[in-house]
Amino acid sequence: MRLAVVASEYNRKQVDGLLDAAVRTLKEAGVEVDVYRVPGAFEIPVVAESLAGDASRRWSAVVCLGVIIRGETGHADLVGTAVTQALMGIGV
């Protein structure tokens, strides 16, 4: 099995914790893992769609990791909704 993991750079400390645990667990299970970094959560669907549609690579799945921290504005909701809808569209 081979997985592509798309992980954001933004909120790197939190994302790296998720990424390190995921990669370690997957490799312990014998899974090949290719990691792709993107600037922030908003860019995750762009790369995920590209990877999912790349016929030259054979991934069993594309895993997406990002952290959106809620602040005092509605920015987190806007980004979270946009990313969720885009990833759902890719899946469909």
Q: Where in the sequence numbering do the catalytic residues fall?
A: 75
Q: Which two three-digit tokens encode residue 88? A: 């759902």
- Give the sign of the dihedral formed by CA 78, CA 7, CA 1, CA 23: negative
In angstroms, the CA 71 to CA 25 distance is 31
